[in-house]
Amino acid sequence: MRAPLLLWAAATWLAVSAVAHPGRRGGGGGEQPLSRIAVESAVLAVDDAAHVRASPLVLGLKGESSEWVDVEFFHPDPSSDDWIGVFSPADFSAAICEPENPRQSPPVLCSAPIKYQFATFKNDGYNKTGKGYLKLQLINQRGDFSFALFSGGLLKPKLIAVSNKVAFANPKAPVYPRLAQGKSWNEMTVTWTSGYDITEAVPFVEWGEKGGRRFLAPAGTLTFDRNSMCGAPARTVGWRHPGYIHTSYLKDLWPDSRYTYRLGHRLMNGTRVWSKSYSFRASPYPGQDSLQRVVIFGDMGKAEADGSNEFNNFQPGSLNTTYQITSDIENIDMVVHIGDICYANGYLSQWDQFTAQIEPIASTVPYMVGSGNHERDWPGTGSFYGNLDSGGECGVPAQTVFYTPAENRAKFWYATDYGMFRFCVAHTEEDWRPGTEQYRFIERCLSSVDRQKQPWLVFLAHRVLGYSSCAYYESEGTFEEPMGREALQELWQKYKVDLAFYGHVHSYERTCPVYQSQCVVDASDHYSGPFQATTHVVVGGAGASLSEFAASKIQWSHFTDFDHGFVKLTAFNHSSLLFEYKKSRDGNVYDRFTISRDYRDVLACSVDNCPRTTLAS
């Protein structure tokens, strides 16, 4: 049976590979590992003496959405350049791709592997014996899988052998739930992925208070096709059908109550397909005085637990960050991921990989996302920056796979409240300057909060609109995203924004309370009394390769860390806030400060934020 399969593969094997598109950014970012494979250069070199065998044949027999597969292979003429590619669907893709320009010959096949690993990985004797063994982790991605052995390295791949197929027992099962705050404080949204179109099954969520009455909530369904992508590789070798994205709205929740839920699909014959059960705690009432804890980071990306897809430490800290947050999930109420979500860069299979990685977090607490350059940017599509960082995705997967309470999900700016917090999430890949729609949103978000009830006001954006001593920004002479704080610092000061968070730069930095590039007060481990100025924090070191700092010391830069990490905010009450920066490698705190401030301190005026008064009595 192997020979016909190999001949079929040879007849259809042709595709285009995409060069990496590292963005104009403060951090290296590296290359999407899958972009290293020059699929268009692949040739047939079938060796009947070679083989690849994968087991077990059926995965997820107990409802699991991920499972480990044993891959055993042999090549009679081995080399250190040999590698194994994992393909899904197993028959690769027979779809025809349109050429990107008239000079390009139309490729016959659009199919990059979903992951790969070199044959010598943990196989020290492979170059002598040709025998190898890999243990690879697969997740349920709505298709079957096959494993292909190549020689010639990534740039001149030669197809040697293809394995048998393996598949999950139910490849269409509902998987990877993602919670998010709704448009009102007492609404939670549940988004998940399945292989069921609405013509096959009706999606819904069964939910209710723990131990109480159960309810059924309908879900809407979205998807997108290749024509929604703006360029390569998303339209070509990186394309893979995203499945069907379902979102249900759980309304009229009781504050702080514990709810359980499970995802369901009612097939046309009446049969119901269920996920496992999950639980979450409803949001507190806005202004409620209780313990509230929020984790914030950017640029995490994804990584493979089996060590595959690793090239030049693309996102070396991602799994550590995920592990630390998961291990502390009982002490976390919400997560905010401010852009550069998974770095799929046009390889659509990676969105499934990312949602599977964060499932222990996102299924339990609201996982709020912002948009970054690696989600949105593409020339000629309306993004503020005309670079190629999204790999042709132009924002479509991000705004579909994740729910945000934005008025227009494509624009990606929104406000969300959590108890004593107000979060204003900006979208730096759209124009934010005065006179724009987004500038009006930012001012409305900052000005409309009742600081007596929600004293902790937080601004978030992907690119550094405030302050950063990253070496890249130093070379530009700006120490910020150009036109960033010049447009917005008067708003931050006027409305007394406590903290401003950014990603994009892959490291950690905290400033003094700073305005117009001057420390209004010295940096400290404790602030008390009236608001003086906003503290700016770069927290883009959650996973991607790290960013260098400027060689010179900048007076407003108080604490820097060239390492992976994240921030945790803890509001104890209306007057006391704890800020902690934790390293992803060990979860320990390496920078911290507290704020003690009463309502009268919020009302008090400081530089450039004193309200007008009258002499009339």
CATH code for the domain of 342 = 3.60.21.10
Residue 105: band (very low, low, confident or very high) from pLDDT cuts 50, 70, 90? low
Question: Do residues 490 and 526 share a domain?
Answer: yes
Token readout for 199 is: 């013509």
Count of domains observed in the chain:
2
Percent of the chain with pLDDT over 70: 91
Residue with tokens 């420390």: 519
Angle at which helix 318-327 crosses helix 349-357, to 10 degrees, equals: 30
Instruction: Give 38-72 pLDDT, tens digit per residue.
Output: 887 778 889 999 999 999 999 999 999 999 999 99
**Cα–Cα dist 128/126, whole Å:** 5
Tell me if 278 is assigned to some domain: yes
**Cα–Cα dist 151/156, whole Å:** 8
Angle at which helix 437-447 crosses helix 485-494, to 10 degrees, equals: 20
Tell me if 608 is assigned to some domain: no
- Residue 46, exposed/middle/buried by CB under 10 A (0-12, 13-18, 19+)? middle
Instruction: Give 457-516 pLDDT, tens digit per residue.
Output: 999 999 999 999 999 998 888 999 999 999 999 999 999 999 999 999 999 999 999 999
Instruction: Give 163-190 pLDDT, tens digit per residue.
Output: 999 999 999 999 999 999 999 999 999 9
**Cα–Cα dist 26/480, whole Å:** 10
pTM: 0.93
Give the mean pLDDT of the chain.
Answer: 91
Token readout for 132 is: 């190898």
Instruction: Give 369-408 pLDDT, tens digit per residue.
Output: 999 999 999 999 999 999 999 999 999 999 999 999 999 9
Residue environment code for 200-229, b if the CB has 16+ CB neighbours within 10 A, otherwise e: ebbbbbbbeeeeeeeeebebeeeebebeeb
Domain that holds residue 100: 2-168
3-class DSSP string for 159-220: EEEECCCEEECCCCCCEEEEEEECCCCCCEEEEEEECCCCCCEEEEEEEEECCCCCEEEEEE
Instruction: Give 228-270 pLDDT, tens digit per residue.
Output: 999 999 998 899 999 999 999 999 999 999 999 999 999 999 9
Question: Do residues 68 and 38 share a domain?
Answer: yes
**Cα–Cα dist 20/17, whole Å:** 9
The CATH code of the domain that includes 112 is: 2.60.40.2840
Question: Do residues 483 and 367 share a domain?
Answer: yes
Instruction: Give 564-608 pLDDT, tens digit per residue.
Output: 999 999 999 999 999 999 999 999 999 999 999 999 999 999 999
Question: Do residues 111 and 229 share a domain?
Answer: no
Token readout for 430 is: 């759209």
**pLDDT reported for residue 111:** 85
In this predicted structure, the answer to whether residue 441 has a pLDDT above a threshold of 80 is yes
Question: Do residues 91 and 229 share a domain?
Answer: no
Closest CA to 303 of 294, 312, 291: 312
Q: Are the C-beta atoms of 375 and 421 separated by less than 8 Å?
A: no
Residue 518 CB neighbour total at 10 angstroms: 12
Residue with tokens 């479509």: 396
